[in-house]
Amino acid sequence: MPEQLTKKFLDEARKVIQDKLNEVGTELGLTIELGGISYTDTDFTIKIKARLEGALSQEGRDYEVYKILKGLPDLGTEFITDKGHTMIITGYRTRAKKRPVLLKEVSTDKVYAMDVKSVLRYCPESAE
């Protein structure tokens, strides 16, 4: 038991909590994700987001709207970057002006953001 909460402890706690939520989510047919954590020395708060299994996230639904407006490829499209990383398009952040398109790197599952112009450069067949 720690004397006070630290970033390292909360990173470990997040993993344990996410594993338990995944079990509960499977049982209930939900996808449950942890959001940001805020904390003091003695307590912390975590945002929890849940949706029906297989349903699109808010970012995914937003992408479906913006792909028509911006001429983007379909959600889930894979492409390879100049550095050889395979990326999958996962969503669109409506409030992000510079890099609104969300991508997930296939090999690491890390999430990145990219500008629309670059996505269209990597996926030229989608531009109309």
Residue with tokens 């970057």: 81
> Smallest Cα–Cα separation from 13: which of 37, 48, 42?
37
Rounded CA-CA distance 66/22 in Å is 30
pTM score: 0.73
Model pLDDT for residues 60-116, shown as the tens digit of each residue = 999 999 999 999 999 999 999 999 999 999 999 999 999 999 999 999 989 999 999
Predicted pLDDT of residue 126: 57
